[in-house]
Amino acid sequence: MARGDRSRTKGRGDSKTLDTSTMFRLDVEIEPTGVLPLDIVLGGGVPKGDMMEIASPSGVGKTTMLLAVTRSLRHKGKRVAYFDVERGVKRPILENFGLADEASMELGDDFVLLSPETYDDLELLFEEVVVKDPYDLVVVDSITSVLLFQGQIQE
């Protein structure tokens, strides 16, 4: 069997060949997150320049995982913009991750924690950290809160 070919068996003796050789883009630089289980699932880390969505029920640890990734990338000297749209990231949480002393609300700093009040604020800040002064990692926590801002969903 060639690399990238996987044989799947369905039922009795029926098999289907799945070509996985094009599933991973080899021309993209990967940035390990520092969270080993996440890196394994992602094939080594976060592809630079790509967007990811992490979805799960409320309360299972998405923010905790994102803060762990933030800490890891900050320790590597990477710039991180964290949009706390839910307003769930408080100083004690940042202290637990060793991020409290470097968290700033000033654009241009290496780790900026932003809590926009409106969707328009979010849009302007997002343009700043993605287009005008790109950061290595931009976290939006959470998309559900962004949709609430826009009025596209109700609580």
pTM listed for this prediction: 0.74
Mean per-residue pLDDT, 101-105: 86
Mean per-residue pLDDT, 52-74: 89
- Domain regions of the chain by residue span: 58-150
* Mean pLDDT for all residues in the chain: 80
Write the DSSP assignment of 45-109 as a string of letters. Answer: SEETT--------TTSSHHHHHHHHHHHHHHTT--EEEEETT----HHHHHHTT-TTT-BSSTTS
Which CATH code fits 58-150? 3.40.50.300
What does the alpha-carbon distance between residue 77 and residue 4 come to, in Å, rounded to a whole number?
Answer: 35
Alpha carbon distance, N-terminus to C-terminus of the chain: 51
Q: What is the pLDDT of residue 88?
A: 84
- For residue 31, give the H/E element and its range: strand 30-31
Q: Which residues contact 50 (CB under 8 A, 6 or more apart)?
A: 28
What does the alpha-carbon distance between residue 43 and residue 52 come to, in Å, rounded to a whole number?
Answer: 13
Question: Does 14 score more than 60 pLDDT?
Answer: no
Give percent of the chain above pLDDT 70: 75
